[in-house]
Chain A
Amino acid sequence: MTIVNFTPFSALLGGVLIGLAAALMWWLLGRVAGVSNILGQAFSSDERELNWRLAFIAGLVLAGLGAKLFVPGAVHFSLPAGYGQLIVAGLLVGFGTQLGGGCTSGHGVCGMSRLSPRSIVATLVFMAAGAFAVLGLRLAGTL
């Protein structure tokens, strides 16, 4: 194992911003800022519940668009996977987060902060599965 591309300060700052956003959702709307649940439950929400969900999603997307337009230097983006791999991965991420009841934000940040045993288990499992998937890519020679 070698350690590369280490950027602890920007990672910590980004984490603080994510934590602040999640704190806003909690203190203002009383909601857990779990992206997969906000998105997934938009499929089965009445209008009152749908609006704030779509607004949060719009905020996420517009943050990306705004950064690309106004501060392109701050955007670091490199995507190694091709279309086929991304379609398979997208299906897995969509289905898995709904079955498991959360993702990196809902379980990994919010649930871990609450010391929820379910979230701690989920986070350990999806991190391990992610590491195995990357190991698989490495062994297959596509990394």
Chain B
Amino acid sequence: MTRVIASFLAGLLFGAGLIVAQMTNPSKVIGFLDITGNWDPSLAFVMVGAIGVYGLAYWLSRARHARPFLVDGFNLPMRRQIDRPLVVGALIFGAGWGLSGFCPGPALTSAGFGEPRVWVFVVAMLAGMMIYRLRGRTVSTASATTRD
């Protein structure tokens, strides 16, 4: 239960940060990406603030060989290789980000603003995630069949 409450509070704080930074304002995000037009560099400062604080927290945990307070160990991504899925995935994600001005976190927080168009975006995003998972299943079923 403690983990759930901590996670909820972190989500609230994360969302508050997104609102203050205006990451939840699609026009602002599009302005940041509009480098050849009317460029608004503000969101680079979001990265600076977030990386400054989180980077400090992360490297402090490394330097102290610390353990997290509520669980046994840290959970880090295992993959190291710069492969095709990473690059193609980032290309696809970036295209959608530019078209809408939404990435996943800000889309969820703006869904709370009550604008139906955001809910439509969120449902489409969830559908995209499910398509990825169904596709993975089809591929693994296919390879299993080949092995037989």
Residue numbers of A with Cβ under 8 A of B are 1-33, 35-36, 39-40, 43-44, 51-53, 55-68, 74-83, 85-101, 103-105, 107-114, 116-118, 121-123, 125-138, 143
Residue numbers of B with Cβ under 8 A of A are 3-28, 30-31, 33-58, 61, 66-77, 79-82, 85-105, 107-115, 117-118, 120-133
Chain B residues whose CB sits within 8 angstroms of the CB of A6 once the complex forms: 40-42
Q: Does A44 lie within 8 Å of B133, measured CB to CB?
A: yes
Chain A residues whose CB sits within 8 angstroms of the CB of B54 once the complex forms: 18-19, 22-23, 26, 33, 109-110, 113
Chain B: which residue is nearest A30 at the CB level? Answer: B68
Chain A residues whose CB sits within 8 angstroms of the CB of B105 once the complex forms: 35, 60, 103-105
Q: Does B108 lie within 8 Å of A60, measured CB to CB?
A: yes
Q: Does B13 lie within 8 Å of A24, measured CB to CB?
A: yes
Counting chain A CB atoms within 10 Å of each CB, the highest count among B17, B95, B96 belongs to: B96
Complex CA gap A58/B9 in Å reads 9
List the 10 closest pairs (A to B, CB-CB), nearest first: A59-B11, A94-B128, A14-B21, A100-B89, A15-B49, A64-B112, A63-B15, A129-B94, A90-B124, A133-B98
Q: Does B31 lie within 8 Å of A5, measured CB to CB?
A: yes
User: Which residue of the partner chain, among A25, A62, A104, contacts B7 with CB atoms under 8 Å?
Assistant: A25
Chain A: which residue is nearest B93 at the CB level? Answer: A96
Q: Does B38 lie within 8 Å of A94, measured CB to CB?
A: no
Give min CB distance, B58 to chain A, whole Å.
5
Q: Is the interface of A mostly helix, strand, loop or mixed?
A: helix
Q: Does B124 lie within 8 Å of A87, measured CB to CB?
A: yes
Q: Does A1 lie within 8 Å of B4, measured CB to CB?
A: no
Subset of 12 A-B contacts with CB under 8 Å: A13-B49, A30-B67, A56-B10, A59-B9, A77-B115, A89-B95, A104-B23, A109-B47, A109-B54, A116-B77, A133-B33, A133-B95
Chain A residues whose CB sits within 8 angstroms of the CB of B88 once the complex forms: 99-100
Q: Does B102 lie within 8 Å of A93, measured CB to CB?
A: yes
Q: Does A22 lie within 8 Å of B50, measured CB to CB?
A: yes
Q: Does A132 lie within 8 Å of B98, measured CB to CB?
A: yes
Complex CA gap A139/B48 in Å reads 30
Q: Does B39 lie within 8 Å of A59, measured CB to CB?
A: no
- Given contacts A18-B21, A30-B71, A94-B128, are A61 and B35 in contact (CB under 8 A)? no
Q: Does B38 lie within 8 Å of A2, measured CB to CB?
A: yes
Give min CB distance, B85 to chain A, whole Å.
5
- Given contacts A10-B20, A78-B25, are A121 and B82 in contact (CB under 8 A)? yes
Q: Does B100 lie within 8 Å of A11, measured CB to CB?
A: no
Q: Does A32 lie within 8 Å of B77, measured CB to CB?
A: yes
